[in-house]
Amino acid sequence: MTEDTELERIKLRKLMKMLGGGKRVKAVEDVIEVKSYSEFKELLAKTASEGKILVVDFWAPWCPPCLMMAPVFKEVAKELGGKAVFAKVNVDQVKEPALDYGVTAIPTLIIFRKGKPVSAKIGFAPKPVLKAWVERFIK
């Protein structure tokens, strides 16, 4: 680790401490990695109750288009994170959501509103396309 990186980490830690009044502040994740079917269902229910849309990337680590999509998905999540919730589901580890929503090709991106799928995209999407697609569903 370089001195500049270490200095930035120290400054960020001090700033977080000042903003949190001495309490540890938990950073909000840009993209939630869903690890189980129950976690997926809880996330779906939580976003529905909060009135937020949920954007889910169904992917697998052996899929080249999925790997190309990952940094684009993360960038859009970072930019729109306060307006929508972004999650990734590895279909090799958590199969049930993919089966529930008929995912037969990856990457498949599905937008959920009020716990129900409202739109889906299959395959790689460049950042401007992905961002515009998500923004159409943000109130």
Catalytic residue list: 63, 66
Q: How far apart are CA 110 and CA 103, in angstroms?
A: 9
Tokens representing 93?
């580890």
Region for residue 76 given its phi and psi (left: phi exceeds 0; alpha: psi -120 to 50; beta: otherwise): alpha
Place of tokens 């306060």: 82
